[in-house]
Amino acid sequence: MSTFTANDSMSIHQPSEQEFDQVPRDHRDIIHRKSRSFSVASRLLPRAVRTDVQKLYAWCRWCDDAVDSTPSRDIALARWQQLRDDVDRIYRGERPIHPASHWLAELVARYPIERQLPLDLLEGMHMDLSLGRIADQEALLRYCYHAAGVVGMMMCRLFGLSDPNADRHAKSLGIAMQLTNIARDVCEDALRGRCYLPCTWMEQRQETSLPSDVPKAVERVLVLADAHYAIGESGMHYLPAHVRRSVRIAAAVYREIGQEIRRRECQVLEARTVVPIRSFVFAATTALIRGSIRDIRRALIPNRENSLPAFNNPMEMMMNDAKYIAYLGLSLTAFMATGLFLLVMLNPKDASYSYLPLIYAFVSFGVGVITNLLAKRAETSRATSVTDHVSV
């Protein structure tokens, strides 16, 4: 299973030894060939970090392809060992041997990327070489961490983050994306003799065939992915504002793949799921709007979760619920009034209306935003956190 499986075709190319050593001079060549979605998302990053993020992706992807698509397991192990030795050389301050390793060497020289992180990524590729079947959900999440969760943590270093809390959210987002890949690529993986759907989720467990209950297992993978997407989204505020938009778009695009699989009733054995461009655009736009609203709420009410009062008696809780309902009702009324004022402005009954409807619309919209924030503040008793129920 590729760590980054956003390829546009299902053909399995087996690079020769000459191709293994002939790395493109421009790291962007790998990105353009292998992942159009990542290519688009990375262009939204500020120039200061864009090139480094692309180099990290190119190194991860080149290593994965070099190990994953080989004529034999012995060749794959030899390539894996060479790439791992290069990591050791880099952290000893020596020059790596393989050309692709120079991308990693540049990043390690400039960012505090712990040695264990690239080693964990390569360990995931080694797991692929000895993979028979995934035993259970725990083994699935462990594999997803090595395949992609660790990439999210390395990205944090490039973004200037070292907070363990940020790492946790970034790791979950990477895991969510890898789970999406697994759900989408069941058929392609089967051609390689692999299956990443946990055995405990299947009735039939033969090594040589896929069970008939694949759609149910794929749905469970997507449910698990949704939980980790939620954890990833809840930690977006750790990211610098100038990179948050790109990460949100990447997450939304990947999550839309899972939604498309659901729309096809999880029938992933028939053909590879391809998401229409319009669906990607809609998903990305929606994610940006929702994310902007969350950012505004967090800016207006900092540390909202920590500053809310505790309710120690039923009467106080009832009062809180009453406030929530009242504020929510006012908020909805104000937003509806905003729409009506805009309609009046667009279809005035009298020229004397001038710009008054627009002024009223702005005022009512402001009232709607404020009362909506107050409703959220009063929602303590209703609030639950996904992170309390899902752990890696």
Residue 24 — φ and ψ, nearest 5°? -55, 140
| pLDDT on residue 34 | 55
| pLDDT on residue 381 | 42
Round to whole Å and give the CA distance between 86 and 104: 9
| pLDDT on residue 383 | 37
| pLDDT on residue 168 | 94
Tens-digit pLDDT profile for the chain (392 aa)?
434 433 333 333 444 444 445 555 655 566 555 555 565 666 778 787 888 998 998 899 888 887 777 778 888 899 899 999 999 999 999 999 988 899 999 999 999 999 999 999 999 999 888 776 788 999 999 999 999 999 999 999 999 987 889 999 999 999 999 999 999 999 888 887 888 999 888 865 445 445 568 899 999 999 999 999 999 999 998 998 888 888 998 899 889 999 999 998 888 887 778 888 888 888 888 887 888 777 777 766 655 444 333 334 445 555 666 676 777 778 878 888 888 877 777 776 666 556 777 888 888 888 888 887 877 676 544 433 333 334 44
Round to whole Å and give the CA distance between 143 and 174: 11
According to DSSP H, which parts of the chain are helical?
A: 17-21, 27-34, 36-43, 47-68, 73-91, 101-110, 116-129, 137-144, 150-158, 164-184, 186-191, 214-234, 241-263, 277-300, 304-307, 314-346, 356-377
SS3 162: coil
SS3 281: helix
Q: Residues 225, 227, 230, CA angle at the centre, nearest 5°?
A: 110
| pLDDT on residue 40 | 60
DSSP symbols for 71-104? S-HHHHHHHHHHHHHHHHHHHTTPPPSSTTHHHH
Round to whole Å and give the CA distance between 171 and 152: 5
Among the listed residues 121, 57, 53, the one whose alpha carbon sits nearest the alpha carbon of residue 87: 121
Contact 57, 250 (CB under 8 A): no
pTM of the model: 0.71
| pLDDT on residue 365 | 86
SS3 23: coil
**Structure tokens given for 296:** 């505004």
| pLDDT on residue 378 | 66
